[in-house]
Structure 1
Amino acid sequence: MTDLRTATRRGPAGSAMAVPAFRRLWLAGLVSDTGDWLMFIALPLVVLQLSGSAVGTSFAFLLELAPPVLLAPVVARVTDRLSHRLVMVVAMIGQATTLLPLLLVHDRSELPIVYGVIIAQASFGAFFLPAKNALLPTLVGLERANSANALVGLNNDLGRIIGGPLGGVLLAVGSIATVALIDVASYVVAAALVLSLPRSRHTDAVPSADTSTEGARTGGVLRALTDRPTRDLVVVTTVASIAQGLFLVLFVFFVTDVIRGDEADVGLLRGVQAIGAIGAGLALGVLGARIDALRLALIGSSAFTVITVVCWNASFVSHAVPLYAVLFAAIGVPAVFMGAGMTSLLQHATDGSRRGSAFAALGLGQAVGQAIGITAAGLLQEPIGTLPLLEVQAGAYALTAVLAFVLLRRGPRRVRS
């Protein structure tokens, strides 16, 4: 095991795309992320149509955050003891199956079905992401971790551009059943691609450290949090997730109330965030192996804070939508740097036998942080106002950057194994 400062010593490496198995995994991610964005756009609209209230929509977002919190101990044990490839395939098949009840949704009386689907999707998803993040280093090697994480993140942004608008169109011309069936197909295709990954000691071996009685007693989320590098990364990520939760609720109010934009402007500014992220993802996909992950995380968190502060305070000078389009596009670059850097640091700082637990703990922190941010924004937006709360949100990102510099740059200390 290594500490965070020495975790990313670089050796000769190229892009993760040079690894054939990774190319299959990447394609699987692109297919499933596109399907996810279909549903991500369609489900909140359906909830709003059926419930007739923003409260119902906010409740749907909070439901999605509950499984990563409640299931974190189970996720840690499963992803540490079973093949990561197997966990991913079962999770995707589970997500495909649990979308089928949406075929029965037609009116308000079936709203509980929608909520049930949201919970089921998030439950299986809670297993998928830690397994995928734990699998990547064994698939491409730690020296290509930055490249692999950036390219995996690129899938989400490509999926947003393709699946986001398509989800709205399909819902408008068809129904939630149409969207559900296409998303089911995307999961099946992605699962088949992951299943085609080579069966080897790298992708299918059960780590011996966690198959023993001793490992079963000492593994899991709590054990992961006793390791300082993991705990430090969880703390930094949780604070950033609080800021992200605030943003999810306040963004629409900023566009419509602060800069006086309309619904089209909301869609434009939400979409352009993918532009900078795609550029950064492509660049890191090629050059990521040559860049220190710690430096990447620190630069990303600092630049993200600066652009966030500029974005909210520019409203005192101008309400021109093109200005904010540039700012929101630019912020995608440090977002990719920060995400890829943090993920790579955690992959380096933990060994394969407990990497699933570490990412389960990270998912727990992200879910708790977003829940705090979403709840706070929902309760405080009206009495305090949008812009003051966005200044708090920018402050949360500033705190994230400070914590990253203080915690992630600590001196050598080995992770317990």
Structure 2
Amino acid sequence: MTSRSAFAIPAFRRLWTAGLISDTGDWLLFIALPLVVFQLTGSALGTSIAFLLELIPAVALAPLAARLVGRFDRRWIMVAVNVGQALALLPLLWVDELGDLPLAYAVIFVHASLSTLFEPAKNTLLPELVDTGRLVSANALIGLNQNLGRLVGGPLGGVLLAVGDLGLIVAVDALTYVVSAVLIATLPAVAAPAETHSPEEGAAPRPAGLLTAFRLPRLRGAFAVIFVSSVAQGMFLVLFVLFALGPLRGSDADVGLLRGIQAIGAVVAGVVLGFLVRGSSPRALTALSLFAFGALSLVTWNLPALTTDIWPYVVLFAAVGAPGVIMIAGLMSVLQEHSAPWQRGAVFAAVGLVSALGQAAGILLGALSDGPIGLLPLLELQGCLYLLSGVIALLWLPRARRGRKMGGQPATATHAC
């Protein structure tokens, strides 16, 4: 019996492995570099600037990403990005004191800019490697390796920084990007979207620009879900620490424990959805996961009225990682299934843009907790935004197209060897 897991496809396994390695490298940098910035500046503001620099390219470079991913071979875009990320780390070797801070900021900005190209290229390539029936499995497994990379790369980044110096981080991180580039280069060749034939028009259309993605009626619900849920995520980034140290009366160690424990639920969900569950509707998965996200959030924010013991929150935060992976798997599958190959570069560049704008709005909303509104009403709003996203998903996301083949390839081209 043929496996319906995307992991049965050799090309996908190579892409997955490359993603796991590069995601581990991303988390090395994500953990270590803000710590270095804080050590240099001694300022929360300096560290906040580092995080904001990661959002700017997703907005500013989205139109360029749409054009490049739509015009060129996605494999080689990803290879070039990985090589560029390895080279972009080198200026960190000269970061030793406060005067070198602009170099650290420049590395953060360049890495975020390259990621703006990498993610649309990866999400555009994925439907060319797997058939429609395995899209949910493939996207869940991508979410799995991102969380495995977090589990490995996060602690490893802290350990390497403690036992060595920033140079050691640079060496290990650069190696992960080079290995990832080599694996991606071995993927089978796939026609660029600009070369894809359109049966409806009888001609190969030009790659779509960014605005084209927002004009696709079937995807407007998905963009609405992404924006509203990203606002909730942005609020969480600001409010979580305030909640843990305030109503929960936790310590700095509790903050780290609760943030890290989310990966457990995410890994379990990635394994179950990637290897075991079959025939799931992306629309239903997205809606149900968002309802679960909202319900778990509201229970968590209101639980201090009953108890501030840490262990119920460990369970809740471990559980909340699962709907995050399921939501992303469902949404990405909807976007991949309901866009043509020459449109996907624009679609996934638009995803990065909408997500960044939503998170920025959420961060600004979270800052209102210092004012008369207070913390608890904003926490309640954050949970309700996830519930609203679930309603939008249930009512507005398109239903699955049964029997459709992806990327114009015959189904046998994606079967395991």
Normalising by structure 2, we get a TM-score of 0.90
Q: What whole-Å deviation, never above 9, does each CA across 1:272-316 have from its counterpart, x for those lacking one?
A: 101111011001111344211111111111111111111111111
Whether the 8 Å CA contact 2:208–2:343 is kept in 1: the answer is: yes
1:261 aligns with 2:250: yes
2:361 alignment counterpart: 372
2:135 counterpart of 1:140: no
Residue in structure 2 matched with residue 76 of structure 1 by the alignment = 66
Quote the sequence identity (%). Answer: 50
Match of residue 143 from structure 2: 153
User: Helix, strand or coil for the counterpart of 2:330?
Assistant: helix
Q: Residue 35 of structure 2 aligns with which residue? A: 45
Structure-2 change in CA distance of 1:277 and 1:178 (3 Å): same
Answer whether contact 1:209 1:353 (CA < 8 A) is retained. Answer: no
For 1:288 and 1:43, how far apart are their aligned partners in 2? 38
What are the ranges of 5 or more consecutive residues in structure 2 without an aligned counterpart?
A: 402-417
AA matched with 1:50:
L
CA–CA distance in structure 1, aligned partners of residues 208 and 18 of structure 2 = 30
Secondary structure of the structure 2 residue equivalent to 1:258:
coil
Is 1:207 paired with 2:195? Answer: yes
Aligned length: 397
Aligned partner of 1:187 in structure 2 is 177
Change (3 A) 1:346 1:147: same
Task: Report deviation, 1:385.
Answer: 3.2
What is the aligned partner in structure 1 of residue 121 from structure 2? 131
For 1:20, the aligned partner's letter is: P
CA distance in 2 between counterparts of 1:48 and 1:410 reads 47
| C-alpha RMSD over aligned residues | 2.1
Q: Counterpart amino acid of 2:300?
A: C
How far 1:410 sits from its partner (Å)? Answer: 8.0
| Secondary structure at the counterpart of residue 197 of structure 1 | coil
Q: Deviations over 1:39-85 (max 9, x none)?
A: 11111111222222212222211110010111111100111111111
Q: Distance in 1 between matches of 2:130 and 2:349?
A: 21
Q: Which residue of 2 is the match for residue 307 of structure 1?
A: 296
What is the match of residue 312 of structure 2?
A: 323
In structure 1, what is the equivalent of residue 396 of structure 2?
Answer: 407
Q: Name the amino acid aligned to 1:188.
A: V
Q: CA separation in 2, counterparts of 1:207 and 1:319? A: 59
Determine the C-alpha separation between the residues in 2 that align with 1:229 and 1:146.
18
Say if 2:287 and 2:389, in contact at 8 Å, map to a contact too: no
What are the within-5 Å matches in structure 2 for residues 14-413 of structure 1?
A: 14-201=4-191, 206-208=194-196, 215-216=205-206, 219-378=208-367, 380-381=369-370, 384-408=373-397
Q: Is the 8 A contact 2:205 2:342 kept in 1?
A: no
In the alignment, residue 57 of structure 2 is paired with which amino acid?
A: P
- Cα 1:172–1:83 change in 2 (3 A) is same
Which residue matches 2:412? none
